[in-house]
Amino acid sequence: MVMRAIEFETRIDSSGQLRIPDEAAGSLPTGCRARVILLLEDDEADTKANWDRVAARSISEYYCPGDAIYDDYPRR
């Protein structure tokens, strides 16, 4: 089955309903099958991802080739 994507942003109301914006609804054929995938904002995940990027960049600034001897150091 070949599917095409129509992307739009909307809000979930207090009853759990999604409103399809008029401009998107106008391009939807009636009676066809559709698969719905919701992508929700996750502020906590964004914060963690940003922190991980900053931490990795900060660590790499102080890492020098001579420190490579510790890469294979046995861990307890």
Indicate the pTM of the whole model.
0.48
The first and second tokens of residue 29, run together, are 């054929």
Question: Torsions phi, psi of 12, nearest 5?
Answer: -90, 125
CB contact at 8 A, 12 and 18: yes
Cα–Cα distances (Å) from 10 to 18, 26, 41, 42, 69, in that order, read 7, 15, 12, 15, 52
Higher local confidence (pLDDT), 69 or 12: 12
The first and second tokens of residue 34, run together, are 């559709």
What is the predicted pLDDT for the residue at 17?
94
Q: What is the pLDDT of residues 9-65, one digit of tens each?
A: 999 999 999 999 999 999 888 898 889 998 887 766 667 777 777 777 777 677 777
What is the predicted pLDDT for the residue at 45?
66
